[in-house]
Amino acid sequence: MTTKTINHLLTLEELTPSALDDLLGLAAEVKRQPEAFQSALAGKKVALLFEKASTRTRMSFEVGVVELGGYPLFLSSSDLQIGRGEPLTDTIQVMSRYVDALMIRTYAHATVETLASAGSIPIINGLTDSHHPCQVLADLLTVEEVFGTRTGKTLTYIGDGNNMAHSLMIGGALSGMHIRIASPEAYTVETEIFERANELAATTGGSITLWQDPVAAATGADVIYTDVFASMGQEAEAAERLTQFATFQVDASLMQQAKSEAIFLHCLPAHRGEEVTADVIDGPQSVVFNQAENRLHAQKALMLTLLA
């Protein structure tokens, strides 16, 4: 049974293992019979505020709110008064009078924490520099669909120790999974987030380990996952990162280290020829478009959990 009320989704640490099970179970049900939920958010307004570009997050939230009978408001920070210096704390107090929840994609993770404490509506993190919890809800749903379970599965993430790596560590720990993160030493995950995820994993029978050799990390894995070498906001480092991550590309020979039934995941957008070769992402082990579709179902379940 779920033992704590979920008010916000900022890092996935708001969830207990059983609350995550409930949420993913609901996502599977929403996916099976979307019509049963078409009025579940009737009368609810959800603001969707973007300070960075987005295809999947924007579309899946906007469509998701509509499919639940609610009303989405797409907002770009450059069009709001925050673009001209209005404090975020004023903005969220105003928003709290108009809408029932705010999904935001922004830079500093502290921004979503400030919004959660200054406002009086649920805040959903649609990606910060440090975390991407909504993506990992979809990733875990995908793992569960393919293998029938998450517990005990080994997911190897190869590449930058970024927002995706952090959220995969937390979501994997909640799931009792074995998460291996393989990154160049200078680009590994944040120690504090690793330690929190590690403590969580110790309570679920999972594990989180850090690797520098992608081949060793991929050996025997059930899931191989990668993300861009340069995230949004790191465009100036892109050329340097291409060099630093040269041996961290997911190609066919790396996939061969994993189990023969292993799947390939990528949060997208992908850069073929950089973090992954075209034969892998477009090949038979790749389920990246099912994974992208699952953003819709997982986030509908999230909004039902926070709002219905």
Residues annotated as part of the active site: 105, 132, 135, 227, 267, 295
Is the Cβ–Cβ distance between 155 and 120 less than 8 Å? Answer: no
Is there a binding annotation on residue 132? yes
Enter the tokens of residue 149: 């379970």
Cα dihedral 81, 85, 89, 90 sign: negative
Distance CA(302)–CA(308), nearest Å, equals 10
Residue closer to ligand NVA by CB (options 55, 78) is: 55
Query: Per rule CB under 6 A, is residue 292 in the interface with ligand NVA?
Result: no
Work out how close the CB of 294 gets to ligand NVA at its nearest, in angstroms, rounded to a whole number.
14
Site string for ligand CP, 82-121 (x = CB under 6 A): ----------------------------------------
Is the Cβ–Cβ distance between 224 and 156 less than 8 Å? Answer: yes
Work out how close the CB of 136 gets to ligand CP at its nearest, in angstroms, rounded to a whole number.
10
Work out how close the CB of 36 gets to ligand CP at its nearest, in angstroms, rounded to a whole number.
27
Residue 55 interface partner, choices ligand NVA, ligand CP, none, CB cut-off 5-8 Å depending on type: ligand CP
Distance CA(26)–CA(15), nearest Å, equals 14
Query: Per rule CB under 6 A, is residue 299 in the interface with ligand NVA?
Result: no
With CB under 6 A as the contact rule, the residue among 11, 106, 128, 135 that binds ligand CP is: 135
Residue 250: what are its φ and ψ, rounded to 5°?
-85, 110
Dihedral, CA atoms, 212, 162, 292, 158, nearest 10 degrees?
-10
Residue closer to ligand CP by CB (options 57, 226) is: 57
Work out how close the CB of 132 gets to ligand NVA at its nearest, in angstroms, rounded to a whole number.
6
Is there a binding annotation on residue 290? no
Is the Cβ–Cβ distance between 115 and 92 less than 8 Å? Answer: yes
Enter the tokens of residue 296: 């819709």
Work out how close the CB of 291 gets to ligand NVA at its nearest, in angstroms, rounded to a whole number.
12
Site string for ligand NVA, 201-240 (x = CB under 6 A): --------------------------xx--xx--------
Dihedral, CA atoms, 175, 180, 185, 191, nearest 10 degrees?
20
Is there a binding annotation on residue 164? no
Query: Per rule CB under 6 A, is residue 57 in the interface with ligand CP?
Result: yes
Query: Per rule CB under 6 A, is residue 139 in the interface with ligand NVA?
Result: no
Site string for ligand CP, 221-250 (x = CB under 6 A): ------------------------------
Sheet holding 45-50: strands in order across? 71-76, 45-50, 101-105, 123-125
Q: What is the size of the binding site for ligand CP (CB under 6 A)?
A: 9
Question: Cis link prior to 269 (omega < 30° from 0)?
Answer: yes
In which region does residue 49 sit, left (phi positive, over 0), alpha (psi from -120 to 50) or beta (all else)?
A: beta
Nearest-CB residue for ligand CP: 57
Query: Per rule CB under 6 A, is residue 196 in the interface with ligand CP?
Result: no
Query: Cα 197–119–52 angle (5° rounding)?
Result: 65
Work out how close the CB of 135 gets to ligand CP at its nearest, in angstroms, rounded to a whole number.
5
Long-range pairs for 229-238 at CB < 8 Å and ≥24 separation? Answer: 229/159, 229/160, 229/271, 229/274, 229/275, 230/160, 231/129, 231/160, 231/162, 231/163, 232/52, 232/53, 233/52, 233/107, 233/129
Q: Residues at the annotated binding site for carbamoyl phosphate?
A: 54-57, 81, 105, 132-135, 267-268, 295
Residues lying near ligand CP in the complex (CB under 6 A) are found at 54-57, 127, 135, 267-269
Residues near ligand NVA (CB under 6 A) are 127, 162-164, 227-228, 231-232, 267
